[in-house]
Chains A and B, each alone.
Chain A
Amino acid sequence: MEAALIPNPSDTNATILLMGLRRSGKSSICKVVFHNMQPYDTLYLESTSKPTTEQFSSLIDLSVMELPGQLNYFEPNYDSERLFSSVGALVYVIDSQDEYLNAITNLLMIIDYAYKVNPNINIEVLIHKIDGLSEDYRIDAQRDIMQRTGDELLDLGVEGVELSFYLTSIFNHSIYEAFSRIVQKLIPELPSLENMLDNLVEHSSIDKVFLFDVNSKIYVATDSSPVDIQTYEVCAEFIDITIDLDDLYVENDKNKNEHGGVNSNNQSELKSISRLSNGSVLYLKQMIRGLALVALIRSDERKGINGTEEDINGVVETVEEINQDEASNQEKSLTIIDYNVSLFKESLMKIWKNSKLIHANQESSQRHLQQSHPSQE
């Protein structure tokens, strides 16, 4: 059992450790985020008895290890030292609907220990199950928990620990948001990815762009404009819809291929475009390694890319003409976006290749990114 607990040092997986007191909701988080389980079904989950590991390979390979709540990590036969030294992030789940003083004590003990073993560890605290708290009380709870942990840490004499706090619930998208942030901290290429996305946004009249992990709906990166939770939800659901519709007709094709075996190499990338009646466009394109780029393209193309053209002939136009112009403009701007996105994909592939080389050749401490600064046209 112990062997299973310690991540194999040879694989380069960044490990996220999920800890917390029992019944704080760790397994539910795992099931909802990584297995697309309906939140209500998690009521029936049994208590976890063994550490379980979720592998998920996004841009980087991650494994999320969930530890049973009732374990005592400081029993001598438990090799917690090796465990803590190998993980990238420690996520501690606090049940906000329960009495959380015990949880804070437990958390402090873990921090104290983990930080000594591995000073590079990211410590993230999820103040969980906030769906049951009223709006005002949420803030209070968060402030209280932050205050207490801060004070206690000072008393313990542990300095320089950076804690991040998140208010989460599995019944809305806040858990995805929190996990997105946590995962993003582990991706060394993040700054350049964001840079590239910013470039893309700037040149393509895009409102907001996300780089999603398709299976878990965690976004690996987004552009630097603030994340509007509604846009995020729509984009995440757009992935589901695209994949569901695609699957309906693909499954049958797999059968055909087994019989005929003709066009198995005809796997083209998934792409979908949806126009909305307010003129915006939802755009999805499959990237590498289970990632998809989803963008919300804003409606004012007329002023955007083809603005000058419009001014020249824009004297008296019938409604139909305007509509036609709008449509053709939209086509043009989509073509440009298409082009830009494929450029982005190419550079994404390049970055990934380079990062692999770094991993292979150099020590992990030098995770310095080779800036390949792909220009975005």
Chain B
Amino acid sequence: MSSSATSRKKLLLMGRSGSGKSSMRSIIFSNYSALDTRRLGATIDVELLHLRFLGNMTLNLWDCGGQTVFMDNYFTSQKDHIFKMVQVLIHVFDVESKLINKDIEIFIKSLTNLQQYLPGAKVFVLLHKMDLVQIDKRQELFQIMMEKLQKISNPYHFKLVGFPTSIWDESLYKAWSQIVCSLIPNINLFNNNLVKFNSILDAEEIILFEKTTFLVISSTASIQNQQKQIENGQADQQAQEELDPKRFEKISNIIKTYKQSITKLRTNFKNLIIRGSDGTNFYIDIITDNMFIMIVLKDKKDADNLIQQQHEELLILDNIKAARKWFEKIENNE
């Protein structure tokens, strides 16, 4: 807890006007639905957002309005103010933009500035409004853009991470969950504990979510993937993935819809247990003050017995309760 400065993260959200920056952050951090974002007006200058994330991490999200007037200011007079101490730059490109050269020009400007102030910053590129592109062309377009952008940023020694996004599907959650995860310092501790917990439960899958945003923090599948990649160098993880590769984002999306629907009853939800149609059981429960856990279990034996089922349910819930202690520890003893 000693260094409150290090747990404070500064994120710059940049991009030309109308590219969808404010819509994004409203959906992820302010519980807007995709339709609601139509009501958002233009952002004037910089809008600051302070978000507490996982207890002691504070995200300072600088949503920078994208009109040329403001933009010019950022790169000249406000340079110091804007680019000091930036940990992450998130640059949003509108795929439908007519003035791609102008977009790239601005991108280069911010990279130049960023390099001056903090060479080690992480740069994420979001190709936004992908829903406006035909489905079969999306992948191709994304790759072309990314190659181009990477080439541009090579002189500045930044490694770009890019995502195709749209507010109308779950791709937005995927992008933001990776962005935010890259900022969590003790992610390895979480991972280790999750693996341990899994060895006790022998679950199909365990996933950790952040409470307010429902972004995925960690999951057993992704941990296994990482390990495999370390072992076999560049193993193709796509081949081993049996389950829907987009499931994390979908779950985030589903649960968030649920959370919103529950607010109609003026309350929040504590846990959710689903006994699936073919022996898959889901448990979603609070694990710490800031995290939810989701456990997916497969029925091994025929537990048709109602009593037996209920005992199992209680056992799992008790296990979650026991695990709570450990995860709270990690969260607090940063």
Interface residues, chain A, with chain B CB atoms under 8 Å away? 230-231, 233-234, 237-238, 240-242, 244-246, 248-253, 255, 263, 266-278, 280, 286, 296, 331, 335, 338-339, 342
A296 to B310, CA, bound (A): 20
Beyond known contacts A270-B274, A276-B267: 7 more, CB 8 A cutoff? A242-B274, A263-B278, A272-B272, A273-B274, A278-B267, A338-B310, A342-B306
Across-interface contacts of A250 in B (CB, < 8 A)? 276-278, 280
The 8 Å CB contact of A246, one of B262, B271, B277, is B277
CB within 8 Å for A338 and B306 given contacts A233-B261, A234-B261, A263-B278: yes
A280 to B266, CA, bound (A): 11
Q: Is B156 an interface residue (CB 8 A)?
A: no
Across-interface contacts of A231 in B (CB, < 8 A)? 265
Number of interface residues of B (CB under 8 A): 38
Across-interface contacts of A271 in B (CB, < 8 A)? 274-275
Q: Are B273 and A237 in contact (CB under 8 A)?
A: no
Q: Is B254 an interface residue (CB 8 A)?
A: yes
CB within 8 Å for A246 and B276 given contacts A268-B304, A280-B267: yes
A13 to B203, CA, bound (A): 45
Across-interface contacts of A273 in B (CB, < 8 A)? 272-274
CB within 8 Å for A277 and B268 given contacts A248-B250, A272-B273: yes
CB within 8 Å for A245 and B282 given contacts A237-B261, A277-B268, A278-B267: yes
> In the complex, which residue of chain A has the Cβ closest to the Cβ of B261?
A237
25 A-B interface contacts by CB (under 8 A): A230-B264, A233-B264, A234-B265, A237-B258, A237-B261, A242-B274, A245-B254, A245-B274, A245-B282, A246-B274, A248-B250, A249-B280, A251-B244, A252-B243, A263-B278, A263-B279, A266-B278, A268-B275, A272-B274, A273-B274, A274-B269, A274-B271, A280-B267, A286-B277, A339-B306
The 8 Å CB contact of A249, one of B257, B269, B273, B276, is B276
> In the complex, which residue of chain A has the Cβ closest to the Cβ of B247?
A248
Q: Which of B265, B271, B277, B310 has the largest number of chain A CB atoms within 10 A? A: B277
A366 to B257, CA, bound (A): 46
A77 to B65, CA, bound (A): 66
Across-interface contacts of B314 in A (CB, < 8 A)? 331
CB within 8 Å for A268 and B244 given contacts A275-B269, A276-B267: no
In B234-287, the 8 Å CB interface with A consists of 242-244, 247, 250-251, 254-255, 257-258, 261-262, 264-280, 282
A28 to B296, CA, bound (A): 38
Q: Are B296 and A335 in contact (CB under 8 A)?
A: no
A263 CB to closest chain B CB, in angstroms?
Answer: 7
A278 to B314, CA, bound (A): 20
Q: Are A234 and B278 in contact (CB under 8 A)?
A: no
The 8 Å CB contact of B250, one of A240, A244, A252, A278, is A244
CB within 8 Å for A266 and B279 given contacts A233-B261, A277-B270: yes
Q: Are B275 and A272 in contact (CB under 8 A)?
A: yes
Q: Is B103 an interface residue (CB 8 A)?
A: no
A235 to B152, CA, bound (A): 51
Across-interface contacts of A266 in B (CB, < 8 A)? 278-279, 299, 302
Across-interface contacts of A296 in B (CB, < 8 A)? 265
A338 to B308, CA, bound (A): 13
Across-interface contacts of A233 in B (CB, < 8 A)? 261, 264
A234 to B265, CA, bound (A): 8
Q: Which of B244, B264, B268, B310 has the largest number of chain A CB atoms within 10 A? A: B264
A357 CB to closest chain B CB, in angstroms?
Answer: 29
Q: Is B331 an interface residue (CB 8 A)?
A: no
The 8 Å CB contact of A268, one of B243, B255, B271, B277, is B277
B327 CB to closest chain A CB, in angstroms?
Answer: 19
> In the complex, which residue of chain B has the Cβ closest to the Cβ of A264?
B278
A284 to B48, CA, bound (A): 42
CB within 8 Å for A335 and B242 given contacts A248-B251, A276-B268: no
Q: Are A267 and B278 in contact (CB under 8 A)?
A: yes
A66 to B204, CA, bound (A): 46
